[in-house]
Amino acid sequence: MTQTDETAGGSGRAEPIRVLIVDDHALIRRSLELALAAEPDIEVVGEASDGQEAVEIADRLLPDVVLMDVRMPRQSGIEATRVIKASVPSARIVMLTVSDEEEDLFEAIKAGATGYLLKDVQIDEVPDAVRGVHEGQSLINPAMAAKLISEFASMSRKEAERPPQLPVPRLTDREMEVLRLVAKGMNNREIAKQLFISENTVKNHVRNILEKLQLHSRMEAVVYAVRERLLEIT
């Protein structure tokens, strides 16, 4: 096999990551577009200025990743996320926000968002964030993870009063260990160190968990596991 064939056939990315940018401020959309346009493995396929427009465009263009503003006219980013995840479940949605308000954070995750990106982030960090969520990572910083854990604990106590919805897919003991550490906000490297296994093994466990639960992100898996009492967080 020639070097060209090898690049085209396996070692290189066959298709760029398709990104939809959603924000009611044109300047922010333009800044994000400029940051992503310089990346050969990322393609900005569309822009929207409100949630309703985002839903229409996402349904038509089927983006891989959506950068979604939280607060917008006509339809909020959280509502748009809920609709897009129903119609384009493979899309990874990252919320763009000026604050990490606890209520917004948890509602976004419940709606199907993969993570949060604060608008004061360095613009050159955005492409790596897009790549990360496209590969299945959750974009939650430690402070946000701590808030989520608090919400999950509260949710766990409330759900203890509700009968579990059966049947629940069975996870192995190791998969449950990984899921508990995900719920604590740990990334793959930290989980690998904690369990004395490789990062690739962690990735495989996370992938298996998502496949069994038929979900698309780590945080969705945690929400599901708490709701179905697979996982207790105190």
Q: From residue 104, how far is each of 47, 60, 70, 79, 108 by CA, in Å? A: 23, 27, 8, 11, 6
Nearest to 217 by CA among 128, 92, 35, 55: 92
pLDDT at 4: 34
Q: What does the pLDDT look like over 115-146, one tens digit per residue?
A: 888 888 888 889 999 998 888 777 776 666 66
For the chain, which residues score pLDDT lower than 50? Answer: 1-11, 13, 166
Task: Determine the pLDDT at residue 10.
Answer: 42
CB 149 within 8 A of CB 185: yes
> And the tokens for 176?
């449950």
User: What Å distances lie between residue 190 and 24, 148, 208, 234, CA to CA?
Assistant: 37, 18, 19, 20
- What domains, with CATH codes, occur in the chain? 3-139 (3.40.50.2300), 145-227 (1.10.10.10)
Question: Going along the chain, which residue ranges are E strands?
Answer: 17-22, 42-48, 65-69, 92-97, 115-118
pLDDT attached to residue 168? 64
| Residue 165 phi, psi dihedral angles, 5° rounding | -90, 115
> Which pLDDT belongs to residue 117?
83
At 88 the pLDDT is 92
CA dist., res. 176 & res. 23, Å (int): 37
Q: What pTM does this model have?
A: 0.69
What pLDDT sits at residue 167?
A: 61
**pLDDT at res. 94:** 92
